[in-house]
Structure formats: structure tokens, C-alpha cells
Amino acid sequence: MTHPLTPSTAAPVHPDYPVRTKRLRLRPVRFDDLDAVHAHRSLPEVARHLPHEPHTREMTEQTLERMIGGQALAVPGDWLDLAVEDESGRVVGEVLLKRDEREPETGEVGFAFHPDVHGTGIATEAVTAALGIAFEDFGWHRVLGVCTVENVASAALMRRVGMRHEAVNRDGAFRKGAWRSFSTFAVLGAEWRGGPRPSADQRAVDAVVSAFFAAFTRRAGEPVRLDAARAALAPDAVVERVTEGGGLDRTGVDAFLASRQILLNGDSLTDFTEIEVTSTTMFAAGRAHRHSLYHKWGVRDGAAFNAWGRKTLTLRPSAGSWVIESFTWADERESTGLTDQGLSDCRPPERS
């Protein structure tokens, strides 16, 4: 019996080209794109989250040959590599769709862009167009995307285009001399076509928690101010840390921030980032209860480290927004072998 969602032999195997958006054109990769593709694939900051090291020109040529071979989504396992042109005709990046081998009505989206266009919305516009191809041209049921957990920019992009965070694959692959952890995002066709959006309270809580985590970032020994962290905390907030013995160290806002200020601005911890990798939020009795898995990494005493942990936060409404009235955290482990920092580049990890 034929699967009810299996396309007929007349179903399209690629969209009508070019695929146009407000500022962009998506079309098949060509051999004359070599210089443009090499311009971003040769950069360390772009290759950081891709399976390969920065490309030599020969490597880009070989990759381009494989990409040109991916021009149709006719059968399960096929992929479609598209160049992204801006209004001037310059190729500024790539988007990829790969049809799943086992569930042919599902697939993956991947993307890589030149740093020149980071922060311009071009990547978001292009990935939105790629999802439109998947759902509107091919009628897929589900599309997923994968990035390293440190790749906060790609994770934010996938959230912007409507993808939900579904899973964390911790130490899922050994790449470039270190174990890498990956986050999986996905969106369903029904959601893409107009499913329910998060409530205003959910979005407000997300924003407060995101700002709280980001407040503790330190880069290259630059001084850190914790004004944003204080703004996210109620003045009477209670802070608890689970000790190794299972007890609780409890403190207030001033003491907590003072200790973080000393730690972050000391000579020992010169780089530090902490991000919320996955979370669940429940609203009850006028409060929001947030359970988070977090990942942190940095450089301490000249050595790279990374660690995982969990936070439980309780938030309450305050002056039209939300503030954290209590949180408890527990670190799970720490190791050396720091994984890389995040940029706006994401590809399915098994492809190069």
C-alpha cells in the first residue's frame, strides 16, 4: 500500500528557480560560485561549527562538486544545495535541504553564511525561504535543524523562523579533537502554516531568562557589569546553590552578584559564557516555574573548560514584566577540551 503522504511520480523534485524573497534569490549552486563559496568556507569563524576545518581552494572545489550533485529531492536521502544571492547578485551563503532516508516526508535544513551578513536578517530570510520550499513545494511534514550547543546565533535563528528546541545530544560526536554536543530544533508543516504562537507571558519570561544568562558573559578579559542580571532579579530574590554534598548554600541578591562580580572580573576567569540549552516553563498561581539545562564554557588560568548544570527559576509579574524571585542551580560536571564559540552557521552534522 502506498503511504498516504508519498508524492506521486508527478511531484516536483525541485522548486521553480529562482526562489525570490524581498531581498534575496535562491538558486542551484554553480561552478562559477567557487570564489564566493570559498570566501566564507575558508574562514575559521565559519568552519568552526561545520564538520570540516577551514577550506583550502581544492577542498572548496571538491565540496562544490558534491553540492552541484545535490540538485533534486526526488528520492529519500537526496539533498538540495542552494546559493543565496543578495540584491547585488553576490553569493553570501548557502542553504541546504536534505530528505530523510527513512521518513521521506521529513527532512533537515542547514545553512552557512559569510560573516559580512551576520546581523542583517539575510540568514533568517533565506532559511525562511528554505522552509517554504520544504513545506509548500514538497509538502513535507516536518523539518529539523542541528547545531552545536555553543552555536547560540544559529539556535536563535532557528527559533526566529518558528522552529522549536526538541533535544540535546550531549557528547554526540567526536569532532576536531573534542566531544561535541548538539541541539536539535524542528518545526511541523501545520505549525508553519499557522499554529498557535507562544503567549505574551511566555515570550516575556523567555526574554528575562535569556537576558539573565547573557549578563554573565566575559570576553577576552574585558570587565563585566552585572546591571542586566540585577534588573532580572527581584530585590528580595533568594539564590540557592546545590553543594557537592547535596546541601544548599543560600544567599540574597547583593551577596550573589558581588561574588559573581569578583569571579568574572578576576585574573583567573578571562572568558566565560553560559547559555540555556533547553527549558520547560509552567505557569501556576501567578508564577512562572522554569526548569533549565545549561551549558557553560570559558578559559580559567589559561586552560579551557566546560560544564553542564541545571537551574530551577521562579518568576513573578512585576510592573508589566517578569522578575526572578528565586532560583536554584546545580553544576553536573566539568571537563577540559573546550568546544568552540557560536556563529550563524549550521549544517546537519553528518554532511561536509
Dist CA 345 CA 352 (whole Å): 13
- On average, the pLDDT of the chain sits at 86
> CA-CA distances (angstroms) from residue 325 to 54, 238, 262, 289?
46, 6, 23, 10
Task: Give Cα 91 to chain centroid, integer Å.
Answer: 23
Q: What is the percent of the chain where pLDDT is above 70?
A: 90
Q: What is the percent of the chain where pLDDT is above 90?
A: 55
* Whole-number pLDDT of residue 241: 93
> CA-CA distances (angstroms) from residue 186 to 32, 123, 146, 148, 163?
33, 17, 9, 15, 5
Residue range 229-276, pLDDT digits in tens: 999 999 999 999 998 888 899 999 999 999 999 999 999 999 999 988
Residues 17, 28 contacting (CB under 8 angstroms):
yes
C-alpha cell of residue 266: 578576576
Question: How many other β-carbons are positioned within 10 Å of the β-carbon of residue 234?
Answer: 16
Q: What angle do CA 201, 207, 208 make, to 5 degrees?
A: 90
* Whole-number pLDDT of residue 4: 40
309: three-class secondary structure by DSSP: strand
* Whole-number pLDDT of residue 71: 80
Residues 110, 144 contacting (CB under 8 angstroms):
no
pTM of structure: 0.73
The residue ranking higher by pLDDT, 8 or 251, is 251
